[in-house]
Amino acid sequence: MASEPNQPKDRTHVFQPPKGTRDFYPLELARRRWIEDKWRKTAVRHGFDEIDGPTFEHLDLYTVKSGEGIVSELFSFTRQGGDKQYALRPEFTPTLARMAAARANSLPKPTKWFSICPYFRAENPQRGRLREFLQWNVDVIGDDSPQADADCIATCAGLLESVGLTPAQVKLKVSSRTAVAELIRAAGVPQDYTDAALVLLDKRAKLDRDEFCKQAATIQLDIAAFDRKAGDLASVASIESLQALIKNIGLTDWCGIDLSIVRGLAYYTGAVFEVHETTGAERAIAGGGRYDNLIELFGGPPTPAVGFAMGDVVLALVLQDKGLMPKDDEIAADLGLRPDVFVIPTTETEHLMQPLVARLRREGLHARHTYKSTRNVGKLLKEAGNANARFALILESDTVCSLKNLDTNEQTDSVPMSEALERIAPPPRPG
């Protein structure tokens, strides 16, 4: 198709990344990989298998659950000349429910799945919210026991611990929709208004007192009675069993019962939880709960399920707030990206550099060399240090070199090449 050459080009639009998206240069990508690595290892350690699905789905998949109103929050599109409507996925749960429904008869019980993938939402970016972001989804399918709830909670807490957070810094607030619904009924709300009451309670912290009371009155919610009951947790049966489970798996430091957590979404049916920074400085780090009706809604047999999601944006902000994001060279070491050896030639041996590097790489070492023209050893050692290499190999002849351990400053002068290679290998295998 011919382009229009004469129109003024909106070059800003073309050459800047789209609103709410990120470019990942090597350092940024390393930090992202570090988070993904923590997510993946934590999930695997807790017995979950990794899955993924399409990055875009039929638009209907999202409107079935959330209604047409969701469309304005989606990036949706049709093919040129086609009429099927698609949308970039804004969340994983519909895909998960679809996948689980498709194989419902052959899946083991419970089925424990996790995923790490990008999501897209057409919202205005602000702190902790972008239009493209990563999310870690962890779900237990086909198990309606509180044990499955606890499995999710333990995995979530395990992640918090593995990135260096402490119970003083973050809190995993556990609640139960069924318990809160009981309290709502006990506080005078008619059955028909239960959902409205849950929505109102979800907004409670954001509303001022008068406005909240006013709205509570319209659904006959007796706030004083509700708070009195909520204060007496032991009276609520489903809370009691949750508390027992948390204690049983040793997570009392991390978790607390907090009945103000009800989650905004209508599809949660039982336990719900959120992770918050204790100072309240950032938005929720993670959230989830039990959704026993959803898989049936997507064409599967009635199947209980529970899960949660954690996004990369807020997690990274919290880690930065707390000074817990490791230094870039520590991340590189963690991910196994450190060069094993950096080869430094002299004027006499520069023709030997390329063959040696090729040989080192054939032997499985991560080998780098200088591209500079200077043969000043001091400058090249600095370059080796900047590359974060474990060893610098100063090439003296085709059979002799000096090997300097860049971490300890120990140097072996003029040793046979074979001895140097033995000292370099084997590379450490990270975690």
3-state secondary structure of 95: helix
In the complex with RNA, the residue whose CB is nearer, 365 or 393, is 393
Shortest spacing between CB 233 and RNA, in angstroms:
24
Residue 193 neighbours by CB under 8 Å, 6+ apart = 219, 220, 221
In the complex with RNA, the residue whose CB is nearer, 236 or 317, is 317
Shortest spacing between CB 244 and RNA, in angstroms:
27
Shortest spacing between CB 148 and RNA, in angstroms:
19
Alpha carbons 265 and 24: distance in angstroms, whole number: 32
Helix (H) or strand (E) holding 287: strand 286-290
Shortest spacing between CB 343 and RNA, in angstroms:
12
In the complex with RNA, the residue whose CB is nearer, 220 or 376, is 376
Alpha carbons 273 and 258: distance in angstroms, whole number: 9
Shortest spacing between CB 47 and RNA, in angstroms:
23
Alpha carbons 308 and 115: distance in angstroms, whole number: 11
Shortest spacing between CB 403 and RNA, in angstroms:
9
In the complex with RNA, the residue whose CB is nearer, 264 or 301, is 264
In the complex with RNA, the residue whose CB is nearer, 356 or 406, is 406
Task: Report yes or no: 76 and 87 within 8 Å, Cβ to Cβ.
Answer: yes
Neighbour count for residue 383 (Cβ, 10 Å): 19
In the complex with RNA, the residue whose CB is nearer, 8 or 426, is 8
Alpha carbons 412 and 409: distance in angstroms, whole number: 10
In the complex with RNA, the residue whose CB is nearer, 236 or 306, is 306
* Single-letter amino acid code for the residue at 275: V
Shortest spacing between CB 196 and RNA, in angstroms:
13
CA dihedral 275, 280, 283, 284 (to 10 degrees): 10
| DSSP per-residue codes, 322-366 | TT-SPPHHHHHHHTT-S-SEEEEE-TTTHHHHHHHHHHHHHTT--
Long-range contacts of 107-110 (CB under 8 A, 24+ apart): 107/141, 107/142, 108/142, 109/141, 109/142, 109/143, 110/140, 110/141, 110/142, 110/143, 110/148
Alpha helices in 9-145 (DSSP H): 11-15, 26-45, 59-66, 93-102
Please tell me the total number of residues recorded for the chain in this structure: 431
In the complex with RNA, the residue whose CB is nearer, 171 or 229, is 171
Q: Which residues bind RNA (CB under 7 A)?
A: 8, 10-13, 15-21, 62, 66, 70, 73-74, 90-91, 93, 121, 123-127, 129, 206, 263-265, 283, 287, 309, 346, 371-374, 376-379, 381-386, 394, 396, 402, 404-407, 409, 411, 413
In the complex with RNA, the residue whose CB is nearer, 14 or 234, is 14
Shortest spacing between CB 33 and RNA, in angstroms:
20
Task: Report yes or no: 175 and 260 within 8 Å, Cβ to Cβ.
Answer: yes
Strand pairing of 111-120 and 49-50? parallel
Shortest spacing between CB 294 and RNA, in angstroms:
11
